[in-house]
Each structure stands twice: as C-alpha cells, then as structure tokens.
Structure 1
Amino acid sequence: MIRILLAASALGLASPALAQRTDWAKVRAEWNQPMAPFRILGNVHYVGTAGISAYLITSPQGHILIDGGMPESAPLIAANIEKLGFKLNDVKILLVNHAHWDHEGGLAELKRRTGARLLASAADAPALEAGTSDYRPDISIAAPPVKVDGQLKDGEEIRLGTNTLVAHLTPGHTKGCTSFTMQVPSGGDSLTVLFACSFSVADQPLTPGHGYDAAPADFRATFAKLRATQADVFLSFHAEQFDLAAKRAKQAAGDPEAFVDPGELGRRVDAAQKAFEAELRAQAPK
C-alpha cells in the first residue's frame, strides 16, 4: 500500500482525502532509502536517494548540485558525491527545482558542507529563506531556512567551467518552479538533458483565494512551453516521475542509452495536462 500511496503523492494524483491520510513518516523513510550514486551520461551524475533525485554536474573547475532533498537526505547526498570520488568543497553552485520541503530541505546543510552559492528563482526565494510556503499554509512540513545568494531569470545561463545550464521558469507546481537544460556531448554530437521541475498539481489549489490565483494560467503556459522544448533525456526529481529504477536497471544491464528517449517529455506533458484539467474540473465550484 505504501508504494501505491507514495507514487500517487509524488505524481500529484492523490486525492485530498488520501493526502490527509498520508503517513508522512513512512513516506519520508521510503523516499530517503539510500541509492548507490552513478553516472547517467557525460558528466551528469545521480547522487540522490531512492525516492528523491539530486544531480551532480561536474567539471575540472567545480561542480553544480541540483536539489537537496529532505533535511535527512543531506548526509546521503554528501556521501554519494564523495563515493563518486568528488570533493564536497568543489561544489560551487547549488540549484533547486522548487521550494517544497522535500527538495529544499537539505539545501542549508549541503550549503554549509560545500560552501556553495545557492541560486533560485525570485518567486521561490521567499519560501526558501523562510523555510515555509509563502502561500500554502496547509503545507505544515517546514524546511530549514536557507539564504538565496542569487536570483535566476527565465533563460538565464549558469556557467561553471565547461558546463552551461539554462534556467527555464516553469511555474504552476510552485510560483517559481524552475527547470534546467544543458548540452552533453555524445559521440560527434550532443544530447539535450532536461532537469524538469514538477508539473503535477499535487493538491495545489486551482481556485481563487488561496494565494496563487495565477496557478491555472501558469500551468497552461508551462505545458505549452515544455511542448516547445526538445529534450533527448528527461530527468525529474521524484523517482516515479521518470521511471528511475527501470532505467537504472537497463543501464546496469549494459544499455548505455537507457536514459535517452526524445519522446518522453511529450508523453509526460500530455499526462500531466490531462491530470491538471481533471483536477481543475474537480475543484470548480459546484
């Protein structure tokens, strides 16, 4: 039952009634199960837990870490970076896909351990620095506050060594939800890797008066934006959102392109928009 509930929650498919019955202690424990770190492709590495993703992008001049998981995830992420042979103090930039406790929770500790600068969208910065949502009082789980050192704009390039990531504001799941793309050399060409911010509703109020009246319009704009985006590799921040376990198993069995699927982004967006429209109808005043 816990795996069914976990997948529903992570994908934003849980009904409000189910969400109220969620045993978050059990969910957190399952999400935080250790996972051995590995190289996805090029210089992109998985350093997260079994349930919540974190990505290390390396270069001789320093590394970029995307996401901090939950507070209890920070030691696992730090250990995974070191297991791959990299030094924590070589992590120079921290990024976050959105300001919810299960992705921002470990940032303060990882920032302390690495000395890295945290960059985030202007819309999510207040929640990161407060440790609580600035418009969702129903989210009672807090995260350690963390100082944002620089605010990202849509289309802004984040450069470190040989790496260039582009920030794409994709709001809806939160006001400042941010996705990132980068080019990874592959043979004589390159692959576009998308680190996709969550685009599930996940109990987000879609009716006026809850502090985020623009949520429906933002979701629709995000779906349109992502449909116009090309991605050879789709990565996200909950394992269920991109079939992490199955892809990793294929890779371990000898498939070097287990994570390469140019059609996945479109399928994920189609499914998310269908779920969004259903939730919008469900929340409409009767």
Structure 2
Amino acid sequence: MKKIVVALVALLPLAGTVQAQTVKDLLETLKVKWNTPTEPFKMIGNVYYVGTDGLASYLITSPQGHILVDTVMPEATSQIKANIEKLGFKITDIKYLVNTHAHIDHTGGLAELKQASGAQMVAGEADKPLLEGGYYPGAQEDTALNFPPVKVDRMVREGDKVKIGDVTLTARETPGHSPGCTSWEFSVGDGDATRSVLIFCSGTVALNRLVPNPTYSGIVADYRKTFARAKDMKVDVLLAPHPEMYRMQDKRALISDGAPNPFVNPGEFNAYAATLEKAFEDALAKQTADAQEKKG
C-alpha cells in the first residue's frame, strides 16, 4: 500500500490538467491509506502523533493547555478525537488549532474540532480566505477538494509566535504549496538535550499549476523563496503533514527505552528540501514545455 500511495502522490502534479472526475477518483483511492487508523504515540518530549496512518496531526502539550497542529480528512476527525483521549488528554484542553496549509487533507476536521474544543484557529495570513471559504486555490469549481470552512481567529506571518505555558511555536513562511503555507518551529526536551523541531508545511507541487495559468499569482517566486529559506534552517527533528515525508513509521518502529530518539536526525530537513527543489524545477520545466507545445 505504501508504494501505491507514493506512486499516486507522484502523479498529483499532473492532476491539475485532468478532468475533475479524475481528481475525485484519485482522492478516493488515496483515502484508503489516508483514513486508515493508527495508534497514537509519544514522538519526542511533549509532542504526540494523533493522526491517521496516512495523514499527520500533532498534539503539543503543556500543563496550561495544548496545541493541535493540522487535522485529517473530514470523515476521519473522530479518529483524532479518540487518539487524543486514548493518550489521556482532553479535547477541551486544546487552546490553539494551528494549520500548516489549507488543503482538504490537513483541514478537514478543523471546524469540528474548533467547535468541540473552543480553541482559537491560527493560520498563515494568505490562507485565511481558503480556510474560511473551504476551497482549493484556483479550483473553486472542483467540489471534490472542498472542506468544511473554519473561521480564522488569528493570522500569522514570518516570525509570529503562538505561546501557551512553556511552549512557543514560531511561524516560518514557506509559501508555494499554498499561498499561506506556514511551517512551525519550536524546541522540545530530549533527555538532557534540547532539540529544534520543524513541522514543515510542504514543498511539493501536487495539484498546483505553475504556468501558464498559475494556481495563484506569484506561486513560482513563492516556491523559490521557500527553498532559499530552507537552506539556512537548522532542524534536529523533521515532522510534516504526510508521515511518509519523514519516514514516520520506520522511525516509530525504532523507538526503544534508553536508545537515542530515532526522530532526531540533524540535516534530514535540508536534504529533503533539496529533493523538493529539484522536483519543483523539473515540474516547472515540464509544465512550461507542455504549455509551449499546446501553443504550437
């Protein structure tokens, strides 16, 4: 199944040019993996995985309340709730809902969880209209990509912080995948060490059109801004909205009392970002060539 999902994700750059029905069928296939349950677990410090087998959701805890980063598909929101409670935490203790980017597979449960928890909704400024409209940018007519709209209580830009107790998340603008794509940087304790953690929004092209009719104006420059910023970021622990982006299951299997935490891997983010940059430039070249061929 893992190989099938990776193959399907690799096809997504082409999906922007196919019929809406094909996108719907592709999503239905991906949901098989995305909605498969998995046991929640402690990743490192006060960070817990509470998502599904195919989509990540992170609970960052403190005695003063918790932060939930991203949700999953709308129909799998109940799994997040059950996972949080299974770990011994309360939904009503979530004080902030934080989003990386406004796509259905990471926003599907935000509205429901906001109502259940009373938490404030925080997201990148440029993604606010998408979250409140419940649609994919540049594809408002494709209802297969719609999700339950959610009111954004606070918009963030580069360097803005979300604080509760001794937890501080710093917003890092990494646009391209969505206009307001926001990665979240923070520190956690790991035994006697302090580790820098980054929940990276994304840098894949996915459904986005780069040329000649871009998903949104300035998208190419945004991707390049993100890849330039990534080169200077120092990250000990890479996390992301899709667990395969950082080999979550492989690392989870290596967790053992007394052993080094397998999620600590300095340099992994920079290497991963470099592969994304190459994939982006390849996609841009292909979309440009396809557009020129159509013009004749």
| Separation of aligned partners in 2, 1:120 and 1:251 | 32
1:267 corresponding residue in structure 2: 271
SS state at 2:185 partner: strand
1:280 corresponding residue in structure 2: 284
Answer yes or no: is the 8 Å Cα contact 1:10–1:238 preserved in 2: no
1:153 corresponding residue in structure 2: 157
1:238 corresponding residue in structure 2: 242
Answer yes or no: is the 8 Å Cα contact 1:207–1:213 preserved in 2: no
Answer yes or no: is the 8 Å Cα contact 1:13–1:275 preserved in 2: no
> Which moves more between the two structures, 220-229 or 244-253?
244-253
SS state at 1:165 partner: strand
Amino acid at match of 1:7: V
Deviations 1:9-67 (A, max 9, x none): 44676543899375422321321111101010100110000000000000000000000
Deviation at 1:3, TM superposition (A): 3.9
Q: Give me the TM-score of the superposition, normalised by structure 1.
A: 0.93
Structure 1 gaps of 5+ residues are none
Change (3 A) 1:3 1:186: closer
Deviations 1:140-177 (A, max 9, x none): 32100111111112110110011001011100000000
2:95 corresponding residue in structure 1: 92
SS state at 2:39 partner: coil
| Separation of aligned partners in 1, 2:38 and 2:133 | 30
Amino acid at match of 1:69: V
Change (3 A) 1:200 1:134: closer
| Separation of aligned partners in 2, 1:116 and 1:11 | 35
| Separation of aligned partners in 1, 2:237 and 2:142 | 32
Question: What's the % identity of the aligned pairs?
Answer: 42
Among 227, 230, 233, the residue aligned to 2:231:
227
SS state at 1:53 partner: coil
Deviations 1:120-153 (A, max 9, x none): 1110010101111242346432100111111112
1:203 corresponding residue in structure 2: 207
1:186 corresponding residue in structure 2: 190
Q: Give me the TM-score of the superposition, normalised by structure 2.
A: 0.90
Deviations 1:228-257 (A, max 9, x none): 100000000112111111111111587441
1:6 corresponding residue in structure 2: 5
2:178 is the alignment partner of 1:174: yes
| Separation of aligned partners in 2, 1:73 and 1:3 | 19
| Separation of aligned partners in 1, 2:131 and 2:153 | 11
| Separation of aligned partners in 2, 1:110 and 1:13 | 28
SS state at 1:251 partner: coil
Amino acid at match of 1:155: G
Compare the two structures and name the one with the higher helix fraction. 2
1:57 corresponding residue in structure 2: 60
1:44 corresponding residue in structure 2: 47
Deviation at 1:112, TM superposition (A): 1.3
2:138 is the alignment partner of 1:135: yes
Structure 2 gaps of 5+ residues are none
Answer yes or no: is the 8 Å Cα contact 2:13–2:208 preserved in 1: no
Answer yes or no: is the 8 Å Cα contact 1:99–1:133 preserved in 2: yes
Change (3 A) 1:217 1:190: same
Answer yes or no: is the 8 Å Cα contact 1:9–1:202 preserved in 2: no
Among 246, 253, 269, the residue aligned to 1:249:
253
